[in-house]
Amino acid sequence: MKIGMVCYPTYGGSGVVAAELGYILGERGHQVHFISSARPFRLQKFHRNLFFHEVEDVSYPLFKYPPYTLLLANKIVEVTRQVGLDLIHVHYAIPHTISAYLAKHMLDEQIPLVTTLHGTDITLVGAYEEFYRLTRLALNVSDCLTSVSRSLASDTEQLFGPLSRNITVVPNFVDPEVYFPHKKADAERECFAPAGEKILAHISNFREVKHVPDVVRIFDQVQRKIPSRLLLVGDGPEMSKVEREVESRGLKTLVSFLGKQENVQEILQMTDVFLLPSAQESFGLAALEAMACGVPVVASKVGGLPEVVKEGKTGFLLPQGDVKGMSAAVLRLLMDTKLYERMSFAASDLAYSEFPPERAAREYEEVYKKARALVKGKM
């Protein structure tokens, strides 16, 4: 098939999932045409079946902001005409589904539209008064809807139901050839933990929903009992708040800010415990990547996280905001070598057995088939 894949190019789970899905579909013989404002950051390797089409800005004196939604719609039409797309698969409802819907109206022939919901498009953006009706429209005009967890499917139905389509759950996945346990030799850990300290890590886009200051608070409790270091990976609007939290606690020398990183597996492979104290998380892809690297996760028991992190088996889930409980969970892990090894092994084992990329690709292919049949039926 020739698939038009629309996604955000920036650091964030939905763009990662779209890019990695593209590589697997490309391997399975599909042609995947990415359409976005910039090359998705995980779409760096060349593949004979993957293509990138950039939505370019136009500047016109009357536009305060270039109308991205319209430019994207136009690009989808252009690519469809140029290469003969069989289907459009958009990641993140707003504004991508709306642009694709417009594109469908500008095309002479019917083209199936699949929308994958990733979480914040429903729970945050979709909940804004200004976007609620548009999100509802996006849900109802997609030929097929998928969500990355059961929790997100049920949140969507609760917030926007009744919908004209069922939501198919296709969980995110992890590539075992990239994410695997590889405890770095002391020499490699040394630059972050020179005295053999334990390493805690957090990766996100530093938005409010991630509660990164809680990561610092948890780390503070832990380092009082066990010599440890904290690696903070990513950047975003909450960064200054996080820096203040680090400074006010006198932790500057123990915390490393690594900024945006592409090969996060290298960092995860030297991490002992991964922290994700988010207020909401439809899936928690970073937690899955950590688990695949054999890193137990301590996280909030919210959204889809219980579908990824198995409580007491691959990590610990605590109520959101329970800094004391999360610190105690990290200490428990770091103080009990047997428990740690058992959880570390179970984490990668479960990541591979329950979230294999091939299965996700097959499930998306099924959804594509269904969307095409639905559209054919309408003609």
Contact flags string 246-285 toward ligand GMT, x per CB under 6 A: ----------------------------------xxxxxx
Q: Which two tokens stand for residue 193?
A: 């933990």
Q: Which two tokens stand for residue 264?
A: 């996060």
211-250: contacts with ligand GMT (CB under 6 A) = none
Q: Which is nearer to ligand GMT, 276 or 330 (CB)?
A: 276
Contact flags string 144-183 toward ligand GMT, x per CB under 6 A: ----x-----------------------x-----------
Q: Measure Cα distances from 245 to 113, 170, 211, 240 in Å.
A: 44, 37, 12, 9
According to the binding rule CB under 6 A, does residue 12 interact with ligand GMT? Answer: yes
- Nearest approach in angstroms of CB 284 to ligand GMT is 5
- Nearest approach in angstroms of CB 247 to ligand GMT is 25
Q: Which is nearer to ligand GMT, 118 or 189 (CB)?
A: 118
DSSP assignment of 219-285 equals: HHHHHHHS-EEEEEE---TTHHHHHHHHHHTT-GGGEEEEES-S-HHHHHTT-SEEEE--S--SS-H
- Spatial separation of the C-alpha atoms in residues 152 and 175, rounded to whole Å: 23
Residues 6+ apart with CB under 8 A from 338: none
According to the binding rule CB under 6 A, does residue 95 interact with ligand GMT? Answer: no
**Backbone angle region of 56, left / alpha / beta, with phi > 0 → left and psi within -120 to 50 → alpha:** beta
**Binding segment for ligand GMT among 18-26, 118-126, 192-200, 351-359 (CB under 6 A)?**
118-126
Q: Which is nearer to ligand GMT, 77 or 209 (CB)?
A: 209
According to the binding rule CB under 6 A, does residue 209 interact with ligand GMT? Answer: yes
| 281-168-360 Cα angle (round to 5) | 80
Q: Which is nearer to ligand GMT, 14 or 228 (CB)?
A: 14
Nearest to 355 by CA among 299, 295, 287, 303: 287
- Nearest approach in angstroms of CB 276 to ligand GMT is 9
**Binding segment for ligand GMT among 113-121, 223-231, 247-255, 327-335 (CB under 6 A)?**
113-121
Q: Which of 42, 96, 118, 372 binds ligand GMT (CB under 6 A)?
A: 118
Q: How far apart are the first and last CA of the chain?
A: 20
The answer to whether the peptide bond before residue 296 is cis (omega within 30 degrees of 0) is no
Contact flags string 188-207 toward ligand GMT, x per CB under 6 A: -----------------x-x
- Nearest approach in angstroms of CB 96 to ligand GMT is 11
According to the binding rule CB under 6 A, does residue 330 interact with ligand GMT? Answer: no
- Spatial separation of the C-alpha atoms in residues 271 and 375, rounded to whole Å: 47
**Nearest 10 degrees: CA dihedral of 62, 66, 71, 72?**
-160
Residues 6+ apart with CB under 8 A from 310: 346, 350
**Binding residues for ligand GMT (CB under 6 A):** 12-14, 17, 92, 118-120, 148, 172, 205, 207, 209, 280-285
